[in-house]
Structures are given as C-alpha cells and as structure tokens.
Amino acid sequence: MKIGRKIAKAACYAAILFLLAAGQVPAGEQCSQAAVGVQVLGSGGPEFYTDRASSGYLVWQDGKAVVMVDAGSGSKFRFGQSGADFNTINYILFSHFHVDHSADFPGYIKSAFFSDRDRDLAVYGPEGNQFLPPASGFVKALIGAEASAFPYLNRYLSGGDDYRIYVNDINIDKRDVINVLKFEDIKLSAIAVHHGPLPALAWRVDIAGKSIVFSGDMNGGYHTLERLAKGADLLVAHNAVSEQATGVARNLHMPPSVIGDIAQQAGVKKLVLSHRMYRTLGIEQQTLSIIRKRFDKPVSFANDLDCFIP
C-alpha cells in the first residue's frame, strides 16, 4: 500500500515536472507562484460546453492577478476557482462586446461588493459602431444611473462607493499600435483587429519583463496583430474556425494558417490556442500540422484554468 502510494506520488511529481518543462501546468497551480503567468478563465466560444467557460484570461504577477482580459459568460465561476482576488485586479481589458467576451462583467462587480475593494478599477475596450456600443456605452447600459439593466450598481460608476470604475474607449480607426498606459512595471497597448463588421481590439500586456498578447476574435484582415505581437513571449490566439471555414465564420475568425503566419511573422516565442469551438475541437492534429508548417516554436491548446508561463 505504502509502496503503491510512493510510486503514485513519484509519478505525480514526474508529470508536474514534464508539464513545467512544457511551460504548461494544470489548474492554475503555478500561476499564483510565477513571476508572470497567464491563466485561462474560459477557453471556449459562445456555445454550450460541459467543461469550458467563454473567453476570459488573467495575467498574474508575483502571486497576484492584476489584469483581466475579457469577461465572457462562465468566466466568473472560473475566476473563483482560480483563487485570484478581485481586489488585486487593476485593469479589465475587453477585446469586444460580444456575449462570450463580456456578459459576466456585472457579475464581477456584484461579487466584488462582498469584498473589501477600495482601489479604483480601470476598464478599457473598443469604441463602438452601429453594431456594438463603445466600452463606455456597454458599461452604462449595464450599470448606468438611468435606463440601465442594473441601476443599483451605479454607485461604482458615480463614485458613491469605496471604489470607482473608470471606463476608457480605445480608437478602432487607426491601424497602428496604441499605447494605452505605461507605468514602470506595466505597459498596456492595443491595436484594432478585423472581426467582421464589429469593433474589436487585440491587447498586449508588457509586465515584469514579459510580454503577452491576446488576439481576441479576428480574421487577420487588417494585418495588425503581427505588429502588436512583435517579439512577444506568449501569444494567445483564438482558434474558432477550421482551415476550411468560409462565409460568415471566416469573415469573423482566422483559420490555423493565418494564426501560424502571424505567430511566425511576429516572432513570438510561444503560442496558445484558445476560444476552442466545436468546429475546431477534435481536429487538433490537423490544426497543429497546418500551424507547424509555418511556426516552429511551442504550441499549446488551452483548457479552462490552465496556466501558461511566458
């Protein structure tokens, strides 16, 4: 019995060492201990899943989750499981305002009511167009003082509570990298990406000497992500369609060949594929072989709560 347990323990350590060597460890065990780590809150798209939340990511630094990218449906539950503390989140960066990237936002704010947060929260997202509101309009429609869905949460916008939410709309007309914020230990930048007719951004977080880029949903049409991701340590790219995609799906999303080309052109050091949908689940080998022809650095498929060390 004892020997069996020892063998099991040794096998477990070996598995963790193998995963560490691959730059991927299970269930966020290491993100809270890494100098910098990226944890997946939601690796799915907008479909019904048994094991995936919609889009969401945390950037950890020295044991604290400090940046959140997207807040898709189900991601808040994963946030709770991740062990992160909402009080340490300084920035929420939205790629765009589809449900699978934003629907849990008021849930996070309400959950934080039961915490002792007293530091302001900065929220960034794209400007709007006729199809989707700007970041400021999205937040106002949810927790604005008038004609919003949840006016009882308005005090976080108006400054009537312990902390205040500041919302910033990021330009989507430029095809250049936008320097959104720069402090000594963190830099946030964004660039417009082509997600069909919808205003959308890719985000780059430079933190503690590491750079992480999030593609968001995009089809590659603007050829902008290559520039934002230049030399990044880690690129999280959305693998929502197969190589054979056509029509609306292809107009919204990039196939594996485009992901591989962008990763190679940008010279990123590691690629993580997320936003996995039923169109791409089960054909990972095909996806991988298409990417491998273009990009020769490590590639991983994301699952919820996975932690990736850049």
Among 81-89, 97-105, 143-151, 249-257, which window interacts with Zn ion (CB under 5 A)? 97-105
One-letter amino acid of 4:
G
Q: Which is nearer to Zn ion, 53 or 121 (CB)?
A: 53
Closest separation in Å from C-beta 214 to Zn ion: 12
- Residues facing residue 56 across a β-bridge: 42
Q: Which is nearer to Zn ion, 66 or 225 (CB)?
A: 225
Question: CA dihedral in degrees (100, 131, 148, 53; nearest 10)?
Answer: 0
Closest separation in Å from C-beta 279 to Zn ion: 12
Burial class (CB in 10 A: 0-12, 13-18, 19+), 223: middle
Closest separation in Å from C-beta 195 to Zn ion: 8
Closest separation in Å from C-beta 275 to Zn ion: 6
Question: CA dihedral in degrees (22, 23, 25, 30; nearest 10)?
Answer: 150
Q: Which of 100, 233, 261, 304 binds Zn ion (CB under 5 A)?
A: 100
Closest separation in Å from C-beta 19 to Zn ion: 27
Number of chain residues interacting with Zn ion (CB under 5 A): 2
Among 76-84, 182-190, 214-222, 243-251, which window interacts with Zn ion (CB under 5 A)? 214-222
Closest separation in Å from C-beta 206 to Zn ion: 24
Q: Which is nearer to Zn ion, 104 or 233 (CB)?
A: 104
Q: Which is nearer to Zn ion, 75 or 189 (CB)?
A: 75
Q: Does 104 interact with Zn ion (rule: CB under 5 A)?
A: no
Other C-beta atoms lying within 10 Å of the C-beta of residue 208: 14
Q: Which is nearer to Zn ion, 100 or 226 (CB)?
A: 100
Among 62-70, 129-137, 202-210, 217-225, which window interacts with Zn ion (CB under 5 A)? 217-225
Backbone angles phi, psi at 297, to 5 degrees: -95, 175
Closest separation in Å from C-beta 80 to Zn ion: 22
Q: Which of residues 218-277 bind Zn ion (CB under 5 A)?
A: none
Q: Which is nearer to Zn ion, 37 or 44 (CB)?
A: 44
- Nearest-angstrom CA–CA distance, 286 and 65: 34
Q: Does 217 interact with Zn ion (rule: CB under 5 A)?
A: yes
Q: Does 306 interact with Zn ion (rule: CB under 5 A)?
A: no
Q: Which is nearer to Zn ion, 100 or 206 (CB)?
A: 100
Closest separation in Å from C-beta 304 to Zn ion: 15
Q: Which is nearer to Zn ion, 72 or 310 (CB)?
A: 72
Closest by Cα among 274, 307, 305 to 25: 307
Catalog residues that contact Zn ion under the rule CB under 5 A. 100, 217
